[in-house]
Amino acid sequence: MIWLLDLDNTLVGRDDAFAAWAAAAVADDGGTDADLAAIVAADRGGFSPKADVARELVDRLGWPDDVEAAIDRFRAGIRDHVRAYDGVLDDLDALRVAGDRVAVVTNGVSHQQRGKIARCGIAQHVDAIVVSGEEGVEKPDPRLLEVALDRLDATDADRDQVWMIGDAGHADVAAGRAAGVRTGWVSHGRPWDAADGAVPDVVGATTRAVLAAVPAAGQPYSRSA
């Protein structure tokens, strides 16, 4: 089996890290609960333009009007607070011991994503790391997954034996479908958004739940006909 896994909110708690850093920043700068709520909302789980988040921080907390400096500051805060989800790296080790190949496939700028990976010690638990900022293409473009398969020497692998797992339906699941591989969605308790298409092959509240459910998923109807 080939496993392609998203990084943020799949292997590591990126949103948890942002919220923890933002709470500390708001407290340090004399902000309010309303300021904190607005800053977290502006981030949109990491999918907002970084300049928009920076502007919210500048306006709410009275930071110097320097968007790039604000971006650097909150990115550093995320790196300082990020943690791998409990048990997930052990699961990756077990997959590799069983003979499977594992890659991280993440959107983002190189220094930020590599910084999170280094802090959480992820590199030693996977066979390849693919960062969109280094490749010039990002999910949902399936070409990023093709880069990962090439790094795993698995470009000719049976696509029914390849899984793309992540928390973002519009990015991770969409990329998996476009690449013709199977998909697992980490819901974190959210309902599936029908705008993102049909429900993925496997859905679980946590990454560990998705990984555990894959062996029972069987073959997809669309490919077994």
Nearest to 165 by CA among 183, 149, 143, 192: 183
Q: How many CA atoms lie within 13 A of 204 on its CB side?
A: 18
- The dihedral sign for the CA sequence 200, 205, 206, 208: negative
Helix (H, G, I), strand (E, B) or coil at 150: helix
Neighbour order of strands in the sheet with 128-131: 128-131, 101-106, 2-5, 162-166, 182-186, 202-204
Domains and CATH numbers, the chain: 2-13+84-218 (3.40.50.1000), 15-81 (no CATH)
Nearest to 40 by CA among 62, 26, 192: 26
Q: What is the maximal distance between C-alpha atoms in the chain?
A: 62
User: What are the CA-CA distances from residue 95 to residues 89, 98, 103, 181, 211 (Å)?
Assistant: 10, 5, 11, 18, 9
Q: Is 24 within 8 Å of 18 (Cβ atoms)?
A: no
Q: What is the pLDDT along the chain (225 residues), one digit of tens a residue?
A: 999 999 999 999 999 999 999 999 999 999 999 999 999 999 999 999 999 999 999 999 999 999 999 999 999 999 999 999 999 999 999 999 999 999 999 999 999 999 999 999 999 999 999 999 999 999 999 999 999 999 999 999 999 999 999 999 999 999 999 999 999 999 999 999 999 999 999 999 999 999 999 998 876 644 433
Question: What is d(CA 141, CA 146) in angstroms, rounded to the nearest whole number?
Answer: 10
pTM: 0.94
